[in-house]
Amino acid sequence: MQIVRTLLGLREAVNTYKAANERIAFVPTMGNLHAGHLKLVEEAKLSADRVVASIFVNPTQFGVGEDFAAYPRTEVEDEQKLAVAGVDLLFLPSVDDMYGDSAKTVISVKNLSTLHCGASRPGHFDGVATVVCKLFNRVQPNLAFFGRKDFQQLVIIRAMTKDLDFPIEIKSVETIRESDGLAMSSRNSYLGLEERKTAPKLYQALCAARDEMLMGKKAVQAIEQDAKIFLQNAGFIPDYFTVCRASDLLNARQEDTDLVVLAAAKLGKTRLIDNIAFTVAR
């Protein structure tokens, strides 16, 4: 696996792939890799001749008081995992390389970025959209792979890619879960032992809400409220628990069919997000 740290080194490697008419898949990450990230690489390898991955803990998507400084950084272990997984090129830029000291441009996906996590973390998705846009311009892949665990992020990146005419196919990969249902996340390492035992109840609440929606006997608002009470009783502090239309993440109506339940809640000091998507027959 080749490792590059500068835009020049990245461009030289990518240009070599393009000169050979090789199809490039891109897997952007913030490191501290787990099986979910490696599943993205696995899917990317099935779809392209070359796989480019990046590790960059992006400061612009962290708000004041969030965990940018404490975010787990495991570069050596991550390099080993990506090499074993068959990544061809790893891009490891610095903050200065990505932004310099005079960056003025911010990408903002209107409406979608201020819902749900965006309401609780102002500016977060602007930071995500901006860094993904910059990485797309640098790597210039044919395909890019993202996990469905952050469903809102996925919808935002799809919208940005379409609106800015990037010739990139966005591929989504199912959330990888622990045996007890907890969605794999780099932030799971923040959980204490007792919190780790409690954490799967977030997914349990999502599954229960999905089942209630499929039965169609209870109002959406009642399902959401029941879930919040369940989570509070389990020790969570719910941020939101919302049944949405999968297409635009607006609140679901009784007649909508393609749905996703989005949830975020704090457990101790750890903020967990998860979702479950499904179709209701009408």
Contact present, 36 and 175 (Cβ < 8 Å): yes
Q: Is 34 a catalytic residue?
A: no
Question: Which is nearest to 263 in space by CA: 110, 72, 108, 120?
Answer: 120
The catalytically annotated residue of 34, 37, 116, 124 is 37
Ordered alpha helix ranges (H), the chain: 7-19, 35-47, 75-85, 95-99, 117-120, 124-139, 151-163, 193-198, 201-215, 220-234
Q: Which letter, b or e, does each residue of 122-156 get, where b requires 16 or more Cβ atoms within 10 Å of its Cβ?
A: ebbbbbbbbbbbbbbebbbbbbbbbbbbbbbbbbb
CB atoms within 10 A of CB 277: 18
Question: Which is nearest to 15 in space by CA: 52, 54, 53?
Answer: 52
Q: d(Cα 171, Cα 40) in Å, to the nearest integer?
A: 9
Q: Sign of dihedral through CA atoms 197, 32, 56, 87?
A: negative
Contact present, 228 and 200 (Cβ < 8 Å): no
Q: Which residues are the active-site residues?
A: 37
